[in-house]
Amino acid sequence: MGAHLGIINLYWLVAAVWIGSFMGDQCYFWIGRKWGGKALARFPAAEARASRVLYWLETYGVGFILAFRFLYGVRNIASVAVGTSRMPWRKFLFWNFIAAGIWAWSFAGAGYLFGEAAAAIGENGPKILLLIALGIGVTIFAVKSVMWVRRRYAASETQA
């Protein structure tokens, strides 16, 4: 939205997001390569997600590297898990760079178009967008709450 309003240059925004995403995931990859097994063993939930990530990596290969930024629940653990795999670091470096660019352009472009839509709505645009964002947030909270209650109920059923 800021790029659409001219507050920030769209190309500089994409460059910053691209570099930040790329460098962050490279750091996590190296953490996984160096300490992955030990680090993941300390966090059982992360270890479970990492095994799912490794399954997806084995199943989808490079496609998973290109997509994991867009998958809720695995974004933060994916690079660490890939670091624990047998994937050569140069291959991850290349595909991570491409994927970070796709992600940067996708989100910056969506924000730019979102800003354009807000401007088209006019003076009430920010209020309408805030209400939409709140609606999305409440919906996500409700869905996550129902999922949590179902998991708790299922866990209590298996213990009984």
123 SS3 class = coil
Q: How confident is the model at residue 103 (pLDDT cuts 50, 70, 90)?
A: very high
Distances (CA, A) of 28 to 73, 78, 89: 16, 8, 12
Classify the C-alpha dihedral 40-150-142-109 as positive or negative: positive
User: Comparing 2-6, 45-49, 64-68, 101-105, which segment has the lowest mean pLDDT?
Assistant: 2-6
pLDDT tens digits for 12-66? 999 999 999 999 999 999 999 999 888 888 888 888 889 999 999 999 999 999 9
pLDDT tens digits for 106-132? 988 888 887 776 666 777 777 877 888
Q: Which DSSP string do the residues of 46-74 spell out, in sequence order? A: HHHHHHHHHHHHHHHTHHHHHHGGGSTTT
Domain regions of the chain by residue span:
10-121, 126-160
Structure tokens at 160: 């009984």
Model-level pTM? 0.70
